[in-house]
Structures are given as structure tokens and as C-alpha cells.
A and B are shown apart, each in its own frame.
Chain A
């Protein structure tokens, strides 16, 4: 089996799970890149260089996917036959959606008033929700219950999007 046919977990010789040892992953990643990076084939013929470029790109993409909880979650769902983007809003609890709107309003106000403390507090709250989502998702995956894990992934998507917006607002206030 070649790297191109392996799934991302297999590439790094890892068990398929949501709970990853990131340090171990990083070591494996650097180990593989040390062998496959195009720089290691700079004197090689075109075919080998192209091959190295492709493999090295796959390894980078695999690492990029697995190191991010959100991308890792989506990838795990896909591997288990579930399309993570299907009906991604329909089945979210109304209370969660209301909370989303509340957060958004809060952020808009804080950005307008350039109130950094308010933004930081909101960030804290959203980070906690993110942690909760991650734990919940992990529990379902550990029980091989991917059907119930999926809506948690969609929640996590919302939360991550919120964090991106919070960061953008911070940058705006701090004038980056």
C-alpha cells in the first residue's frame, strides 16, 4: 500500500480516533517529511521529483487535517460514511441557535464600541463551548456512534466560525 492509498491516520501509523497525541503526530509527520520532502530529491529525475512533490503534499494535507480538531472530526465522519456537510443546520437545537444569535449580537456591539474586555469575555465563553463540543464528539466516536457525533460536528463548525469572527473583531479593535 502506498501513501496515496492510505487514509490520513494510516499515513502516520495512528489508530483511527478523535483523541490524538499531537506530539506523537508531529514527530511522525517530521519523520515522514524528512524522507519525502522534494528537497530530498532535488537531483532526481522528473518522475521521482513529481512523485515526491505529490507524496509530500499528501503528507502535509494529512497533518493539516489531523492536527485541527474540526478538520479531524469532519474527516472521521467521512471515513465512516457520513457526509459532515449534509443538512448541517436542520437538526441543531433551537437553544443552540438562539445562543449563536445572542453571541453575534454581543460581538457586533462590542466591536462597535471597541470594547476589548467584552470581546475577550465572549471569547472565553465560546472557547468553553468549543471544549464541550470536543468532549461530546469524542464520547460519541469512542462509542462508534457516528450518527449522533455528526450534529456535534456541526455545532463545532458554528463555534469555530464564531471564534474566527471574534479574532477578526479583536484585530479590528487592536488595529492589526
Chain B
């Protein structure tokens, strides 16, 4: 509750209720993990078989959904779904072991399964559900919130899709956290690492590199770069391609999964051995390590190029870097290590398991965000990875928020009409670094209607971009000169429609409706009690900030909600909770302002006041 947490810094209020339960989730392309923080430090939660990694694979059949290891034996498995998140059909360039249809949902192609068409978001939700259940069982408690990691280089649409998946899995997302930032949290808090740190994160399907400054609890992303479609899977694909070339076998769709697993094995063998014998169908051949390196060197070169870019964006030299942290299973590759080591001219840090480090960092951050560690002074300052802008005349993109701007951020720019009497303006929101609209990713299109007719150039349309701490964008347009306001908030066109999400949530819970109702009642009750407690304690401290009428209406709201709590009616409780929350808005804002004044105390404000 805000009213609780805005007490003065350093004077953390005691929590009246027990510790809350939070999870850190690394939703990976190839494997996913879940971790939780405990007083002894963060820990990866294993499943009942003792496995830490859950293969990010889902198989649908008529009456069952299999996830992880269990799905790996199914002929109809869906893997690497992360690569489809927030992506249109035209973005997906490599062969898949499953079939994408022309049908779309939220701009993403739907996947054909025995249980009907599924969106990549729904498939991801199944993985999240299993991870959350694993966490719930381990902690033996309901989960209050999760932090889910995403590649730093994930764009708006990919982030939104991830958040939607969490909603379908019925998880309360405390924060989407960039994977390299999560890794930095693990190293910074657990290993007390400080300085200018490169986080080199090569996973199964994505590559991220971030340059961060770590000092005294402040973790600041200086620059980030990468490629959301480059990872260890591409090493496998390079081997697959080689096998196909050598064997002259025309690859059938049902063979893709088999060959991909053969390639993965070969890759692993080559980290130890000089050669590997590969058998596929009737063909067999030998791949030497040297030749394998030739296949993957161009891919590694791409990662180093991104490293140079990041150094440049942060105006730093290689000699300014104090440490290089390796994250992601693919950094186990000796060739990758060799190349990165020689690029940065220093030895690499990999003392925390590169597969686990992201989930561990996410768990630490989740524990803080859920409110278990009030005394923490951890501050994560993240950046937006790609520039955000709007289409202007001539199909050009006017950048409104450049890449590597610290978030949260809001920026506005004024535009005007170009025809006399123009009453409608079309706005097209884009993401990317290029100048032309066609080279950038289209996020949303919307129209501002009801502009009062004026001569061309007289109307002032202020377009405001707001990026929140999760890196999610909302855009608003408003006509200003006439005082007539019309505004609209858009969701990116790749995100799912609210009603689609609702429908998916419903479908996913139909069988457990009763439990859900009960849970909702419980949650609403808890929330109501929290609001009551917070307002009462805020009133005890700061009642003088309110006038008599405000105080009276707040107290009335309190007693109405207390009455509603006796009813067992979830809707009624929610309704009165919201009403009371609404009533306390002014109070919260005033308390926050008075707190800021306190923070400025002793700094001779009058000296700077003009």
C-alpha cells in the first residue's frame, strides 16, 4: 500500500502481516527456471525430479497439456515459442517443427495443435503456470507476485506479449526485468561486484549485451544492445544446415526435431572432443571442432559487433571495463569464451552458474518488490533498448525517445495540421533506429478525432510518450491550442486485445472456476484489509493534511468498506475498496509532496526558489 510505503526514508514501517511470497522467473527460449529468495540467499527451485531447468517445450493433446521434460517425447511439441512472442509471420524466418497458421491473434500467428489453435502467448502461459506451481509447492504458499525476465533488447511488442502471458497464467507481475540487469543484481548483491561491468548474455535464442555501472546499491544500465534472434539454437542450426548439405537429405518437417536434437548433442560433444560422429537417417559423417568453429565464428562475430556498439553508445573504451560477466548456457561454449576474452582482454566472470544467474537475480528483485525488504537501498535504473518515434510527412520517423534513455521516461512533441479545417489526424507509433517508416517496427496506429477546424498549422497536437519501468509504452495525443481536449491511449498493435486476454484467462480457468471465486473473495478481503489498515495508519500520522470534509468522507468510506467485509460478496468488497482508494488519492498525493519537502529539508530551498 502506498499510504504505508511513503513513510520517511529510513523509517520503515513494521509490517503487521507475515512475509510475502515472490518468485523470480527466467522464461527462456530453450529452458526456463524459477527461483526464490530466502534469508540464506536466492535459490533455484527444482521440480519433483530434482531438475532445475524446465525445457521451454509444450505439447497439446486433446485432453492434456504437457510441459517441459514430459513434452519432449511428444511428436507435437512446441519449442522456442519465445521467438514468436510479439512477432508477426513475416518476422519468423527459420523452419519450425510445428505449423503456424494464417490466423492471427494480437498480430502473432496462431499455432496448430491437437487442442485447437494456440497463440504463442498462451503457450508461454502454460510454461509460466508450471513454474509458478513449482514455486508454490516449494514455498507451500500462494504466490503474491513474480518478476519475469526478458531480454534487454526485447521491444515493446515482445514485452507486452510476455506480460499478457503472465496475466493468462494468473500471475501478478511485479516487474519485467531485463535479463542482464537481473544477472547484475545477482553478482552485485551476492558477490559485491562494483564498477563498469559488461553483461554478455548468450542464451538459446537471444543475445543481449549490456554495459552497467554498479556502485553502492545503484545499478545503472548505461547502454544495451543485442539481437533477439541470435543464440545457441543458431549454433545447432548451423550444424543442422551442415548435415543437410553433406547428406543431401531433403528435410521433412517431422525430422526437424530429431535433427535438431542430434545437432545439439554434437555441439555438446565438441566442447570436450576434437571430432564428433554424426548419424542422421541413413547418412553418417564426422564434424571436426575446427570446422564447427568455422560454422559458428560469423555468429560470434555478430555478438562482438554488438559489444562494440554498446561501448560506443556509452562513450567508453575497452580499458574502462572492469569486469565481464558471462550469462546464458551458450556462454559455456569454449569458442565463445575464447573470443569474448580476447575482445575485452580480460578474464571472464562465471562463478555463478550462467544458466541460473538470471533467475537468481530476478528472485532477489522480486523479494524486494513484493515488500519483504523495506530497508533495501537497491535502485535499478534501466534504459529503453530501441528508439521510439512517430511517423511524419514523407514516411520519415521522428524520434521522440532515443534508445538508451533511462526509464521511466515521458516525452512530448507538438505536431500540427497541414490542411485547412482538418479535424482528424492519424498517428503512427514506431520503434527502431532507422529513418524510414518501412525499416522500423510498427507498434500502433490511431486517430485523433474532433480537432476543431482551424487554418492549417494552427492546431497544436501534443503527442506524449510514456515508458514505464517495465519498458512498456503508452501514447497520448491531445489538441491544445483551442482548449478542446481529445486524447487516446493506445496499446501496441502486437499486444493482445483486452477481450482476447480475458477470453484466454477464462478458458484457462474454466475448470477451476469455483476455486477462483473463492480465491478472489480472499484476495479482495486481504486487499480491503490492507487499504483500511494503511489509511488508518496514514490518518494517525498525517490527518492534519486534510480538511474537515475530506476527513469525514474518508472516514465514511472506511466504515462502508468495513461493513462490506462482513458480506462474503467479492464484488461488493472490491467496489467499496476501489471507492475508498479513489477517495484517498488526494491524501496520498499530499503525503508524497510533504515527504519530498522533508527530503529537501536542510538544503536551503529558499536559495534556489525564484
Q: Which residues of A contact B (CB under 8 A)?
A: 1-3, 7, 9-10, 13-16, 30, 32-49, 51-58, 60-61, 63-64, 167, 171, 174-176
Are B379 and A34 interface neighbours, CB within 8 A? yes
Interface residues of B in 468-490 (CB under 8 A from A): 468-469
Residue of chain A at shortest CB distance from B590: A2
- Can you add 18 more A-B contacts, CB < 8 Å, to A30-B218, A44-B1? A1-B597, A14-B608, A33-B379, A34-B218, A38-B408, A41-B2, A41-B5, A42-B370, A45-B581, A47-B582, A47-B584, A55-B596, A56-B408, A57-B408, A57-B409, A57-B466, A171-B312, A176-B305
* A41 to B600 alpha-carbon distance, docked (Å): 20
B603 on interface, CB distance cutoff 8 Å = yes
* A42 to B175 alpha-carbon distance, docked (Å): 8
Are B589 and A42 interface neighbours, CB within 8 A? no
Are B305 and A47 interface neighbours, CB within 8 A? no
Are B610 and A16 interface neighbours, CB within 8 A? yes
Contact of B406 among A38, A64, A175 (CB under 8 A): A64
Residue of chain B at shortest CB distance from A63: B406
Q: Given contacts A10-B608, A13-B608, A57-B466, is CB(A39)–CB(B380) below 8 Å?
A: yes
* A157 to B377 alpha-carbon distance, docked (Å): 39
Residue of chain B at shortest CB distance from A4: B593
Are B410 and A54 interface neighbours, CB within 8 A? yes
Interface residues of B in 385-409 (CB under 8 A from A): 405-409
Q: Given contacts A2-B596, A48-B3, is CB(A39)–CB(B369) below 8 Å?
A: yes
Residue of chain A at shortest CB distance from B305: A176
26 of the cross-chain contacts (CB-CB < 8 Å) are A3-B596, A7-B610, A9-B608, A10-B610, A13-B604, A16-B608, A34-B9, A36-B596, A37-B379, A39-B379, A43-B1, A43-B371, A44-B3, A44-B6, A45-B531, A45-B584, A46-B581, A47-B2, A47-B585, A48-B5, A52-B592, A53-B466, A57-B409, A63-B406, A64-B405, A171-B312
Contacts of A52 in B (CB 8 A): 592
- For the complex of A and B, list the 4 residue pairs with the smallest distance between their C-beta atoms, beginning with the closest: A48-B2, A44-B2, A42-B369, A47-B585
How far does the Cβ of B7 sit from chain A's closest Cβ, in whole Å? 11
Are B379 and A61 interface neighbours, CB within 8 A? no
Q: Which residues of B contact A (CB under 8 A)?
A: 1-3, 5-6, 9, 145, 174-175, 218, 305, 308-309, 312, 368-371, 377, 379-381, 405-411, 466, 468-469, 531, 581-582, 584-585, 588-589, 592-593, 595-597, 599-600, 603-605, 607-610
* A44 to B408 alpha-carbon distance, docked (Å): 17
Contacts of B410 in A (CB 8 A): 54, 57-58, 61
Residue of chain A at shortest CB distance from B591: A48
Q: Given contacts A2-B596, A13-B605, A40-B5, is CB(A53)–CB(B584) below 8 Å?
A: no
Contacts of A64 in B (CB 8 A): 405-406
Are B607 and A15 interface neighbours, CB within 8 A? yes
Are A51 and B588 interface neighbours, CB within 8 A? yes
Contacts of A48 in B (CB 8 A): 2-3, 5-6, 588, 592
Contacts of A36 in B (CB 8 A): 596
Residue of chain A at shortest CB distance from B608: A10
Contact of B468 among A43, A44, A53 (CB under 8 A): A53
Contact of A47 among B308, B369, B381, B581 (CB under 8 A): B581
Most chain-B Cβ atoms within 10 A of its Cβ — which of A9, A53, A58, A64? A53
Are A38 and B468 interface neighbours, CB within 8 A? yes
Are A176 and B309 interface neighbours, CB within 8 A? yes
* A151 to B584 alpha-carbon distance, docked (Å): 50
Are A61 and B592 interface neighbours, CB within 8 A? no
Residue of chain A at shortest CB distance from B599: A35
Contact of A42 among B9, B218, B371, B585 (CB under 8 A): B371
Contacts of B585 in A (CB 8 A): 47
* A39 to B607 alpha-carbon distance, docked (Å): 31
* A171 to B312 alpha-carbon distance, docked (Å): 9
Are B175 and A39 interface neighbours, CB within 8 A? yes
Q: Given contacts A37-B469, A38-B468, A53-B468, is CB(A2)–CB(B593) below 8 Å?
A: yes
* A42 to B309 alpha-carbon distance, docked (Å): 33
Contacts of A15 in B (CB 8 A): 607-608
Contacts of B609 in A (CB 8 A): 1, 10
Contacts of A58 in B (CB 8 A): 410
Contacts of B604 in A (CB 8 A): 13
* A109 to B596 alpha-carbon distance, docked (Å): 55
* A61 to B407 alpha-carbon distance, docked (Å): 9
Contact of B381 among A33, A43, A45 (CB under 8 A): A33
* A14 to B603 alpha-carbon distance, docked (Å): 10
Contacts of B218 in A (CB 8 A): 30, 34
Residue of chain A at shortest CB distance from B589: A51
Q: Given contacts A51-B589, A60-B408, is CB(A45)–CB(B1) below 8 Å?
A: yes
Are A53 and B592 interface neighbours, CB within 8 A? no
Residue of chain A at shortest CB distance from B405: A64
* A40 to B380 alpha-carbon distance, docked (Å): 10
How far does the Cβ of A81 sit from chain B's closest Cβ, in whole Å? 13
Contacts of B309 in A (CB 8 A): 176
* A35 to B596 alpha-carbon distance, docked (Å): 9
Are B468 and A13 interface neighbours, CB within 8 A? no
Contacts of B407 in A (CB 8 A): 60
Are A43 and B581 interface neighbours, CB within 8 A? no
Residue of chain A at shortest CB distance from B467: A57
How far does the Cβ of A142 sit from chain B's closest Cβ, in whole Å? 17
Residue of chain A at shortest CB distance from B586: A47
Residue of chain B at shortest CB distance from A58: B410
Are A61 and B409 interface neighbours, CB within 8 A? yes
Q: Given contacts A3-B596, A16-B610, A61-B411, is CB(A43)–CB(B406) below 8 Å?
A: no
* A174 to B595 alpha-carbon distance, docked (Å): 51
* A1 to B5 alpha-carbon distance, docked (Å): 21
Contacts of B584 in A (CB 8 A): 45, 47
Contacts of A38 in B (CB 8 A): 408, 468-469
Most chain-B Cβ atoms within 10 A of its Cβ — which of A13, A36, A175? A13
Contacts of B381 in A (CB 8 A): 33, 37
Contacts of B174 in A (CB 8 A): 42
Are B379 and A51 interface neighbours, CB within 8 A? no
How far does the Cβ of A144 sit from chain B's closest Cβ, in whole Å? 13
Residue of chain A at shortest CB distance from B144: A43
Residue of chain B at shortest CB distance from A48: B2
Are A13 and B2 interface neighbours, CB within 8 A? no
How far does the Cβ of A12 sit from chain B's closest Cβ, in whole Å? 9
